[in-house]
Structure 1
Amino acid sequence: MSIFIMLDVGGTEIKGGVFDVSGALLGGIRNFQAKAGENPDTIFENFCHIISDLGGGFPKEKLEGIGMAFPGPFDYEQGISLMRGLNKYDQIYGMRIPEELRKRSRKLERVKILFRHDVEAFARGVYRFGMKKQQEKVLCLCIGTGAGSAFLENGEALKKKTEAVPENGWIYNSAFRDSILDDYLSVRGLKRLSREIMGEEMDGKRLSELCSEKNPGALKVYREFGKILYEGILPFLDSFKPQALILGGQITKSFPYFGEKLEKACKERSITLIMEENTSLRAMQGLLF
């Protein structure tokens, strides 16, 4: 049986798991420290340690491939991080990750290593393993530190700019109100709203707790956030015309407090709305070769 080691690479932690060719998780998902602010040797040795740790219970000849889901900016074809000034992986800017890993571990010399944008990997994972019925056109949105997105057609990511799809399938830098979508559909956008309405910056978790207690200020913050989400996403629903919209990340847990307008818009357009909380699992499954 061939196995695949998959990593969802973040700036604070790296989540990893071992999968078989069918996409089944063999064991659980494990969390590791990212060490993203360290020097190159420490970063690459940490990757090798994680891969070795995850694959330790399996014969090394069974390892078919390694997949890594990375945020951008990144050269996914070559496996080169282009992150700089973000306080994560700055020290490995421009370095070829596969070469560096193979220098440090002979076990990886013949192993295929694949890289994908984290939201694209997530969208592909939901498409292949999280949908009751696969649809031709799918739009995926993950709201976290920013507005991550992916446009899929028959399971493949669309990256070429068209009238309906932005460059790379990324909506984050689309013009919106007085700046760009990323400033509004993000954790910082939510914090800004809470500061304006409640006089205090709060994250989604705290706002959800307050909403469950019927706090009027928190409920108003999420109502306003829901209007922004509706206004920001509607143009893409109308131009791309997806049959399904995937919403990912922790914020989906709070959808009942802000999703009414978007849910209604999807129903009017016969768009299946899919909420997927387990972003890391789906991202890893979306890395399968």
Structure 2
Amino acid sequence: MNTSYAIGLDIGGTHITAGVINKTEMKIVDSSIYKESFDSNLPVNHVMDIWKRVIDTAIENSKVENITGIAVCMPGPFDYEKGICWIKDQSKYEHFYGLNVRELLLESLNFPENFPVLFENDAVCFGKGEVFKQQENLSKKVMAVTLGTGLGACFIDKGVSINSGSSVPADGEIYNLPYKEGIAEDYVSARGLLADYKSLTNIDLNNGLELYNLALQGDQMALKAFETMGEDLAEVVIPWIKNFAADHIIIGGKIANARELFLPLFNKKIKESDLDIVVSISTDNEIAALLGAVSFLCD
């Protein structure tokens, strides 16, 4: 059997990770993983230069020559079928609104126009990848949530992503659900954490890492911000855990690395709701996302 390879890309508001995936065995070529942090609000040509460098490095490190496709997990709003970015007013990709990212990628990489490029929601990729990693989830209903610059989610029933019907929110998205004085993502995200900390202290921080470090140092207001986010996350997901009848909720994304700061309050709310559900934190979000993205190329 000939082995087939594809490039998996996990693209967020502040990072890009690339890896070459063995599609035949659904395994990552370990040597290929390469990532960079970057500012997605840079001009488009600067962002594309960064993406090209990361992709070229991953391919070079893999020593693989027969790449047959690219699978990209990308935050929304995004037209995943056409490859058009509709992200607006989310503090990321401010110059990409309305642009065809498929065309930009192929032009940047000097690949032919008909080269297979597939896009999928980053949270959906993460969820599918986690199901691949934990085979027992292939027989269960899983809700996956990603916490980072935004709030992502997906609902997977026996390995199949569900984004329509009465059991899940519209398009399987929770970031835009009405919550408090705005939408869920206003409170459960990096910007939500920073806004909450500012409301408590009147101090502007640059990013979530600064807040995390303050919390580790015992800053009570930083700790309070994370605890509040844990409660808010629970309030947002509990109705949909019940509606979907989920067996397992998996939390990923960069903020999941701060699990010790928000998970106790999240779990407390879950317990108070009398939900019988397994709660787990992903240990390698990016690997899951890359596997999940490429799985759609295999479907």
Q: TM-score, normalised by structure 2?
A: 0.81
Cα distance change of structure 1 residues 198 and 167 upon mapping to structure 2, 3 Å threshold: same
Are positions 1:129 and 2:133 aligned together?
Answer: yes
Alpha-carbon spacing, 1:109–1:189, altered in 2? closer, same or farther (3 Å): closer
Residue identity in the other structure for 2:26: G
Deviation at 1:226, TM superposition (A): 2.5
Choose which of 128, 142, 146 in structure 1 pairs with 2:146: 142
Q: Per the alignment, in what secondary structure is the counterpart of residue 148 of structure 1?
A: strand
Distance 2:183 2:158 in 1: 29
Question: Conserved in 1, the CA contact under 8 Å of 2:73 and 2:122?
Answer: yes
Tell me the SS of whatever aligns to 2:293: coil
Q: CA deviation at 1:87?
A: 7.0
Verify: 1:287 aligned to 2:293, yes or no.
yes
Query: Which amino acid in the other structure matches residue 278 of structure 2?
Result: T
Q: 2:59 aligns with which of 51, 55, 63?
A: 55
Structure 1: distance between partners of 2:288 and 2:276: 24
2:194 to 191, 194, 214: 191
Q: Secondary structure at the residue paired with 2:290?
A: helix
Judging changes above 3 Å, is the alpha-carbon distance between structure 1 residues 44 and 67 closer, same or farther for their aligned structure 2 residues? same
| Distance in 2 of aligned mates of 1:102 and 1:213 | 45
CA contact under 8 A between 2:190 and 2:255: conserved in structure 1?
no
1:35–1:46 CA contact under 8 A, matched in 2 = no
8 A Cα contact 1:211 1:218, kept in partner: yes
- Do the aligned partners of 1:8 and 1:15 also contact (CA within 8 Å) in 2? yes
- Is 1:259 the equivalent of 2:263? yes
Query: In the alignment, which residue of structure 1 is the partner of 2:280?
Result: 274
User: Which of the residues 43, 67, 75 maps onto 1:38?
Assistant: 43
- Amino acid paired to 2:156: L
Matched with 1:154 is 158
Contact 2:40 2:94 in 1 (8 A): no
Contact preservation (8 Å) 2:120, 2:293: yes
Aligned partner letter, 1:4: A
Distance 2:53 2:221 in 1: 46
Q: Is structure 2 residue 121 aligned with structure 1 residue 113?
A: no
Report Cα offsets for 1:156-214 as digits up to 9, x if no partner. 2222252x311111111111122211111112221222223334245543444344344
% identical aligned pairs: 27
Counterpart CA distance in 2 for 1:237 and 1:87 is 29
Structure 1: unaligned runs, 5 residues or longer: none
Greater CA drift, 118-127 or 131-140? 131-140
Asked whether the equivalents of residues 12 and 36 of structure 1 are also in contact (C-alpha less than 8 Å), the reply is no
Q: Verify: 1:240 aligned to 2:248, yes or no.
A: no
Distance 1:105 1:209 in 2: 38
Name the stretch that deviates more: 114-123 or 277-286: 277-286
Equivalent position of 1:3 in the other structure: 5
- Aligned positions, number: 286
Aligned positions of 1:156-235 closer than 5 A: 156-162=160-166, 164-202=167-205, 203-235=207-239
Cα displacement (A) at 1:265 = 4.9
Q: 1:14 aligns with which of 13, 16, 40?
A: 16
Which stretch shifts more, 31-40 or 153-162? Answer: 31-40
Distance in structure 1 (CA, Å) of the matches to 2:213 and 2:93? 34
